[in-house]
């Protein structure tokens, strides 16, 4: 087993995101910790149903069949369970033959504290507070809000990202929120050659880009898309920013305020990340969706 993860794409997923723990969580809410523990121990040989992040985790781990051991993907489990109640989670991992061997069971405490120690580039959870704490630590993180867990059965893994406050800083979005669309458009046109600052998902996009570079452009098993409400002339600054970062993005969709959901379905996104709750709410019945509680839209 490798002892270092520096060259890997490391993604942390909470147990409630990886598996459907709704029933057992309801036991905890209704009857308390002791009843929850007894419930889990009594059912530890019963595999849990897949959760919202399961299809994404499964596809990510399948990438290792095409990548070397030193440059592949590592999925780490972070859980509020104790090791005792978490045995059912690990048994479920084995049942589905997921190559997940590293975990932190935190006995009721928040597990986000371990994301930097594991070297994680992305954290997915159902707990909004944990996600905010991860973002404060400089790690891309999202709260899974979808009722659907994944895209197609294809081996191709498709990521979709909003732009402002996700891939980019929220500096332009602040102008829009405070001064309106006309001022936003004028500001972006004037600053077209000034790269935007990086948002919380810039390092994760860069990590995906490094994985893509291990393959010819037409054969990469990962595809990325920018799905943004921007339109011309505010498109130019985005294009020049990505060029300045030297990061490839496969598709850029400038919607000019149109609803994103139909475009995400057409793209067949496996997961979509956006800072705006309204966009997440629209996409979540159809696409695995992560809300990024960052920027001016999330005070």
User: Do residues 88 and 16 both lie within one domain?
Assistant: yes
Domain hosting 214: range is: 157-291
Give me the mean pLDDT over the 131-142 stretch.
95
Question: For 33-62, how does the pLDDT look when each residue is reduced to its tens digit (9 = 90+)?
Answer: 888 888 888 999 999 999 999 999 999 999
**Nearest one of 185, 159, 168, 166 to 272, comparing CA atoms:** 159
User: Do residues 221 and 278 both lie within one domain?
Assistant: yes
Question: For 193-222, how does the pLDDT look when each residue is reduced to its tens digit (9 = 90+)?
Answer: 999 999 999 999 999 999 998 888 788 999
What CA–CA distance (Å, rounded) separates 238 from 231? Answer: 10
Give me the mean pLDDT over the 59-68 stretch.
86
User: Do residues 168 and 285 both lie within one domain?
Assistant: yes
Whether 65 sits among the annotated catalytic residues: the reply is no
User: Do residues 178 and 254 both lie within one domain?
Assistant: yes
User: Do residues 19 and 121 both lie within one domain?
Assistant: yes
3-state secondary structure of 242: helix
Tell me whether residue 46 is in a domain. Answer: yes
At 249, give phi and psi (nearest 5°). -130, 135
Q: Are 30 and 142 in contact, with CB atoms under 8 Å apart?
A: no
Tell me whether residue 152 is in a domain. Answer: no
3-state secondary structure of 195: coil
pLDDT band at 150 (very low <50, low <70, confident <90, very high): low
Q: Give the count of domains, the chain.
A: 2
One of 130, 162, 170, 274 is an active-site residue; which one? 162
User: Do residues 82 and 202 both lie within one domain?
Assistant: no
Question: For 85-134, how does the pLDDT look when each residue is reduced to its tens digit (9 = 90+)?
Answer: 889 999 999 999 999 999 999 888 888 889 999 999 999 999 999 999 99
Tell me whether residue 131 is in a domain. Answer: yes
Tell me whether residue 148 is in a domain. Answer: no
């Amino acid at each position: 087993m490798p002892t270092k993860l520096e060259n890997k794409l490391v993604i942390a997923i909470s147990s409630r995101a990886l598996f459907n723990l709704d029933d057992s969580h309801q036991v905890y809410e209704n009857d308390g910790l002791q009843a929850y523990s007894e419930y889990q121990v009594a059912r530890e040989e019963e595999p849990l149903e897949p959760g919202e992040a399961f299809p994404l985790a499964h596809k990510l781990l399948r990438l290792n069949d095409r990548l070397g051991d030193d440059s592949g993907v590592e999925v780490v489990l972070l859980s509020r369970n104790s090791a005792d109640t978490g045995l059912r989670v690990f048994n479920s991992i084995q049942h589905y033959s997921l190559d997940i061997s590293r975990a932190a069971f935190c006995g009721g405490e928040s597990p986000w504290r371990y994301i930097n120690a594991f070297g994680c580039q992305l954290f997915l959870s159902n707990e909004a507070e944990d996600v905010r704490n991860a973002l404060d630590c400089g790690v891309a993180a999202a709260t899974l809000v979808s009722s659907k867990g994944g895209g197609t059965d294809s081996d191709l893994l498709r990521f979709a990202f909003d732009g402002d406050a996700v891939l980019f800083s929220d500096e332009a979005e602040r102008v829009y929120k405070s001064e309106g669309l006309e001022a936003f458009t004028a500001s972006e046109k004037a600053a077209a050659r000034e790269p935007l600052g990086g948002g919380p998902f810039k390092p994760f996009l860069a990590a995906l880009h490094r994985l893509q570079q291990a393959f010819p452009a037409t054969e990469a098993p990962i595809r990325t898309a920018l799905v943004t409400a921007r339109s011309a002339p505010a498109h130019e600054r985005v294009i020049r920013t990505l060029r300045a970062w030297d990061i490839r993005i496969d598709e850029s969709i400038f919607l000019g305020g149109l609803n994103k959901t139909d475009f995400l379905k057409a793209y067949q996104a496996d997961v979509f990340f956006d800072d705006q709750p309204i966009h997440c709410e629209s996409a979540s019945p159809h696409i695995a969706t992560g809300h990024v509680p960052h920027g001016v839209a999330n005070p």
